[in-house]
Chain A
Amino acid sequence: MFVLAGLLVGAGAAQSPTYKVGRAPTADEVKAWSITIFPDGTGLPEGSGTAAEGKEVYARRCSECHGTTGQGGESSALVGGQGSLASAKPLKTVGSYWPYATTLWDYVNRTMPFHNPGILTDDQVYSVVAYVLHLNEIVGENEEMNRQTLPKVKMPNRDGFINDDRPDVGPKSEK
């Protein structure tokens, strides 16, 4: 019995206390699924890339849908629109709207290319992110993006968001 208990503890020490089901994930399992990149850079892997390196990746993997210079095409524009948000026709792009550069890393790594997500290496993600930021004139062509520098990139619309303050309308029911 003691041996068996010991084996169980080793295999799943963290089974749920009340209902006694489930097991503890292994470190590798958690690592494999932990793809969330936070605005402070938590979750970013080792690796690096520059816009100069990302240009080629972008041309092969991104331009078909987003346009040769991020102007948009079959899919949304990645570039432009800065200063348009209060106008009659806001153009929401990485440059004009996205508040965090880390979000771009997370999203490209998580989802792109649309029909083949997950094929880019970490270095390729860094470089293509750098390229899109460069197209928006946010980072220089040879500025290295890595886990230290990317969270420090100041996005133009970083302070453009407010928390939900609704209800903002609502006449009281007339009776």
Chain B
Amino acid sequence: MGDEESGRNSGESSRRTFLSIGAAVGGALLACSDSGDTPAGDSVKRTGKPPDEYGERSPFEKSVRKGSVSRYPEAGSTRTPLQDSHGIITPSSLHFERHHAGVPLIDPAEHRLLIHGLVERPLILTMDELKTFPSVSRIHFIECSGNSRGEWKPKKGATAQISHGMASCSEWTGVPLSVLLDEAGVKPEAAWLIAEGADACKMHRSLPLEKCRDDVIVAYGQNGEAIRPEQGYPLRLVAPGHEGNINVKWVRRLMLADQPAMGREETSKYTDVLADGKARQFSLTMESKSVITRPSGGQKLPGPGFVEITGLAWSGRGLIERVEVSTDNGATWTDATLQEPRHRIAFTRFRLPWTWDGTPTVILSRATDETGYVQPAVEALVEARGPNSDYHNNGIKSWKIAADGSVTHA
């Protein structure tokens, strides 16, 4: 390829000269010249950046969270670009956001957690003290119960980010809430825990005590470092499998009570109106769900041939046991391979090799969890709940592949 002529920087040695020097001076440089034999563009011809204190992704990577413009941006949200995701972990920087009064700036040295109410020993803990308790790290998804809200309607999300991007998955590290409850000594009459954040709206939710004793984490770590500010820095609840809003960010207060607070979020907002006008309350569990992330809306297959169909499945009730994929609009289904190890209440990556013959078709996925619950069609949810339940849409998502390979919502 005419390496000799292509030295754009006159200060650089040509590859031929480099090779001859390398041969003369020994092994280390020879190793460099070996890698230089592979076609790698200009990067092989000049030294790159030195090491850096805190890494950034390649400037060629453009995948970002996207939200909708609002009159009250502090009470806004952004969605994870699931269509670009690999594996099961969402980068902390791409974890979806939903705030009710903006992201507070909190100095961890000033932050306190108060545990009080129906306890024998009310406690105030600093962040340093919280980190002295026994800790756990677990991989869990968090999903806003308003995720896929638009999928109730005929005009559905054009991309996996729009339709399913208010779900993300991280490794969370922190103190099991049960440890803190034992330290405070929960009184027998307590039945609920009210968790409150240190944001400007003091967002609060009531959790059944049974759940708190089971698997809730008071978390300070996310994906190997401190939780991101928009995810609750320095401290948040992670209530595995429960709707996102329960996972109170910037948590500063845990109050044990004999009744739920019946706060605004758990009465007027995160409740699901059924066909008869009654509303389902404390519908906390996120049910089994899946979405194909590739090929998915907005992408384009280059042409007939091999395609790895891949996507994500999750359930708030435990492990994903099975994901079936249909490439013929639901006429037949094939089991996809599940990425191991699987984690309970976490994203599970599924994959299915497929050969597209070039004819237009519709592809879809459905997940089954360890309880045997099978992800239903949206129509089945509407039949059971009516058209206005708004939250908790875990219906099957389908993508249409056109003759030219372009993928859109079916």
Contact = CB atoms under 8 A, between A and B. Distances in A.
Interface in A48-94: 74-75, 85-90, 92, 94
Contacts of B324: 173
5 contacts: A38-B259, A74-B72, A85-B278, A166-B285, A168-B384
B148 to A, nearest CB: 15
Contacts of A171: 374, 376, 380
Interface residues of A, number: 57
Contacts of A88: 387-388
Interface in A1-55: 14-19, 21-25, 29-30, 33-40
Interface in B164-189: 182-185
Interface stretch (A109-117, A121-129, A131-139, A140-148): A109-117
Interface in A143-167: 160-167
Interface in B107-161: 114, 116, 121-126, 129, 132-133
A141 B384 CA distance: 42
Nearest to A107: B264
A29 B124 contact: yes
B263 interface: yes
Most chain A Cβ neighbours within 10 Å, of B122, B132, B201: B122
Contacts of B384: 168-169
B268 A92 contact: yes
A99 B122 contact: no
Contacts of B287: 166-167
| Secondary structure dominating the interface of A | loop
A17 B262 contact: no
Contact of B253 (A33, A39, A94): A33
B299 interface: no
B280 interface: yes
A173 B267 contact: no
Interface in B268-299: 268, 271, 273-285, 287
Interface of B: 71-72, 74-75, 100-101, 114, 116, 121-126, 129, 132-133, 182-185, 194, 196, 200-202, 204, 252-253, 255, 257, 259, 261-264, 267-268, 271, 273-285, 287, 322, 324, 368, 372-374, 376, 380-381, 383-385, 387-388, 392
A85 B252 contact: no
Contacts of B281: 161-164
Interface in A94-120: 94, 97-100, 102-103, 106-107, 110-111, 114, 117
Contacts of B372: 172-173
Contact of B114 (A15, A25, A114): A25
B243 to A, nearest CB: 11
B366 to A, nearest CB: 9
Contacts of B380: 169, 171
A122 B264 CA distance: 18
A140 B234 CA distance: 46
**CB-CB nearest 10 A-B residue pairs:** A86-B277, A85-B277, A16-B183, A14-B121, A111-B201, A107-B264, A21-B129, A161-B281, A22-B123, A164-B283
A16 B121 CA distance: 8
A165 B280 contact: yes
Contacts of A89: 388
Nearest to B184: A16
A103 B206 CA distance: 13
Contacts of A21: 125, 129, 132-133
A24 B374 contact: no
Nearest to B259: A38
Contacts of A94: 268
A98 B184 CA distance: 33
B201 A100 contact: no
A17 B181 CA distance: 11
